[in-house]
């Protein structure tokens, strides 16, 4: 058998170590996806009881609907009988925003949205201007004490 293209032991071990180091570095860089983590807005609505979310007793407080099974939505009371719901997906690259300091903050590129969904600050990288968060339809049932978010 000809060994014209064979690797010697030293070269094989050096290349294997380099490949292993590269895999460790890549694994440490994120969730294995190229680009920001993204989410998609669910298609089914969710109905929440106001009594299950004490923050909804106060006008202007952003409430995360993850406990109600809607991790991509948030709800804000805007008046005695009115509510606004928003997609939590950043309009820059669709990353799921965090709710902090009563506003929406994007962990991917630093965009910040007010509790009414408007843009406070766009991404911290060069990009076209972004739009406010997507507003969703809400239906309030005062008799049942529930709000349905589409």
pLDDT of residue 25: 61
Phi, then psi, of 11 in degrees rounded to 5: -65, -40
Boundaries of domain holding 65: 46-149
Helix, strand, coil fractions of the chain, as percent rounded to 5 = 20, 25, 55
DSSP state of 13: H
In a domain, 32, yes or no: no
Q: Can you give the CATH number for the domain in which 58 is found?
A: 2.102.10.10
**For 18-47, what is each residue's pLDDT tens digit?**
777 766 665 555 444 444 444 445 556 899
pLDDT of residue 32: 44
In a domain, 92, yes or no: yes
Query: 126 pLDDT exceeds 90?
Result: no
In a domain, 36, yes or no: no
- Counting the structural domains of the chain, the total is 1
Q: What is the mean pLDDT of the chain?
A: 85
* Structure-token match 């094989």, residue found: 12
In a domain, 117, yes or no: yes
pLDDT of residue 42: 52
In a domain, 13, yes or no: no
């Amino acid at each position: 058998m000809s060994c014209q293209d064979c690797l010697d032991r030293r070269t094989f071990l050096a290349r294997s170590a380099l490949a292993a180091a590269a895999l460790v570095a890549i694994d440490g860089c994120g969730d294995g996806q190229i680009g920001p983590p993204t989410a998609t807005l669910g298609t089914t609505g969710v109905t929440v009881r106001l009594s299950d979310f004490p923050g909804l007793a106060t006008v202007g407080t952003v409430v995360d609907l993850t406990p109600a099974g809607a991790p991509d939505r948030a709800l804000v009371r805007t008046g005695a009988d009115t509510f606004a719901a928003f997609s939590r997906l950043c309009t820059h690259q669709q990353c799921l925003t965090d709710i902090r300091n009563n506003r929406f903050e994007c962990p991917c590129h630093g965009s910040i949205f007010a509790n009414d969904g408007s843009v406070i600050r766009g991404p911290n990288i060069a990009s076209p201007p972004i739009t406010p968060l997507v507003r969703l339809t809400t239906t309030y049932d005062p008799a049942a004490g529930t709000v349905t978010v589409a």
